[in-house]
């Protein structure tokens, strides 16, 4: 009995630490289940804030356990100072650690250089933003692949972003010196107008040893068809130049066989088969997941704005008008829940296809 009492006396100073440790573990587990564990289908975009909350709670739990240690206040201060030094060191070396991506993820949320659905190019990667997380950003490429890029890459490397307001698409071509540049400029502008590009212009880029290099550009206002419009512009340039009997010398032509003096390197005319009106575009196939998410986000934003307007009108409405507005508000809220469910299902389908 005396041995038991002596053991209890020895361990009594550690009771507070044990209780704090157990409470911390239970609280962190509960918050993890509530924020992340029960919502595994959440997109990285929505997990971001919850992950930050968990990070903050973990730091608070560590501090609470340090304060519960059965040591003097001076020792508490020294231990907290040591932990602070470790955290500072981690941030100091964040360029080569996981903290780099966390800090970059926070920075990208503040500066907002791109949004879901935007076309971006970083280093050799090009595609549409599919998801943004605490540690990485996911893009969907033209080949329908998903590529996860660390957030630190977007801070340390220049990023080209194509906004929904439009972008210039271009095509380079080289033509011999025997054709007037005025004729070439007219045909290239005609090709751009055939592709429904606005404000088309032509630049003479270089005078080469064997040919003149031109670049035709035009404003594409609907970036949803960026890939197919680039292809269409190249095809239209071929049709315009070959239709006018002009040879393309890109980059240079080196004939290794005897040809008659009047021979032209132009294909025979081919009748174009019109596409069906409902035929899928290249982007519909390559960026299917991004397009679905972007559509959900646009609809959600539109209905949130409508909900905000209805709530503002509700403050001044009375009688039957107030009841109608309340009914409309409930319907919109239910529809927003449906959109949220659809987004979760989209994430589930994506994850199940990856496994």
In Å, what is the CA distance from 257 to each residue of 174, 197, 248, 253, 254?
A: 21, 39, 18, 12, 9
Residue 175 scores a pLDDT above 60: yes
| 128, 200: one domain | no
Q: Is residue 103 part of a domain?
A: no
> pLDDT by residue (tens digit) across 327-355?
888 888 887 777 777 766 666 555 555 44
Q: Is residue 245 part of a domain?
A: yes
| 156, 208: one domain | no
| 79, 121: one domain | no
* Residue 256 pLDDT: 58
| 202, 227: one domain | yes
> pLDDT by residue (tens digit) across 177-235?
888 888 889 999 999 988 888 888 898 988 888 788 999 988 888 887 888 888 999 99
* Both tokens assigned to 314: 């509700």
Q: Is residue 8 part of a domain?
A: yes
Kindly report the backbone phi and psi dihedral angles of residue 148, in degrees, each rounded to the nearest multiple of 5, phi listed first: -95, 125
Q: Is residue 131 part of a domain?
A: yes
Sheet containing strand 198-207, edge to edge, reads: 167-175, 212-220, 198-207
Q: Is residue 108 part of a domain?
A: no
Q: Is the pTM of this model over 0.75?
A: no
| 171, 268: one domain | yes
CATH code where residue 135 lies: 2.30.30.60
* Residue 236 pLDDT: 92
> pLDDT by residue (tens digit) across 32-71?
888 777 766 666 656 767 777 888 888 888 888 887 777 7
* Residue 8 pLDDT: 61
Q: Is residue 54 part of a domain?
A: yes
Which one of 232, 259, 282 terminates a domain? Answer: 282
**Count of the separate structural domains present in the chain:** 4
| 302, 223: one domain | no
| 70, 134: one domain | no
CATH code where residue 250 lies: 3.30.70.100
Structural domain for 125, as ranges: 113-162
Which one of 282, 308, 339 terminates a domain? Answer: 282
């Amino acid at each position: 009995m005396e041995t038991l009492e002596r053991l209890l006396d020895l361990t009594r100073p550690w009771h507070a630490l044990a209780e704090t440790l157990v409470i911390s573990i239970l609280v962190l587990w509960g918050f993890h289940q509530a924020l992340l564990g029960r919502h595994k289908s959440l997109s990285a975009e929505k997990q971001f804030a919850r992950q930050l909350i968990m990070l903050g709670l973990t730091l608070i739990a560590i501090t609470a356990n340090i304060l519960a240690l059965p040591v003097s206040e001076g020792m508490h201060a020294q231990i907290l100072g040591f932990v602070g030094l470790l955290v500072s060191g981690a941030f100091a070396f964040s360029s080569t650690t996981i903290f780099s991506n966390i800090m970059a993820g926070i920075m990208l949320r503040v500066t907002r250089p791109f949004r879901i659905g935007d076309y971006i190019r970083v280093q050799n990667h090009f595609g549409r933003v599919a998801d943004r997380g605490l540690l990485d950003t996911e893009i969907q490429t033209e080949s329908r692949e998903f590529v996860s890029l660390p957030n630190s890459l977007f801070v340390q490397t220049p990023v080209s972003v194509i906004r929904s307001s439009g972008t210039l698409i271009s095509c380079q071509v080289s033509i011999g010196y025997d054709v007037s540049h005025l004729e070439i400029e007219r045909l290239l502008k005609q090709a751009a107008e055939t592709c429904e590009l606005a404000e088309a212009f032509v630049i003479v880029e270089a005078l080469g040893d064997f040919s003149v290099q031109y670049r035709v550009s035009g404003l594409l206002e609907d970036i949803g068809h960026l890939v197919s419009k680039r292809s269409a512009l190249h095809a239209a340039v071929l049709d315009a130049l070959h239709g006018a009997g002009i040879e393309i010398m890109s980059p240079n032509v080196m004939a290794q066989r005897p040809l008659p003096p009047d021979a032209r390197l132009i294909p025979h005319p081919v009748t174009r088969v019109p596409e069906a009106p409902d035929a899928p575009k290249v982007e519909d196939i390559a960026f299917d997941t991004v397009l679905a998410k972007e559509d959900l986000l646009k609809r959600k934003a539109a209905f949130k704005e409508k909900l905000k307007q209805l709530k503002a009108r509700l403050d001044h409405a009375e009688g039957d008008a107030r009841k109608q507005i309340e009914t409309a508000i409930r319907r919109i809220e239910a529809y927003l829940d449906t959109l949220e469910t659809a987004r979760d299902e989209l994430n589930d389908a994506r994850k199940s296809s990856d496994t």
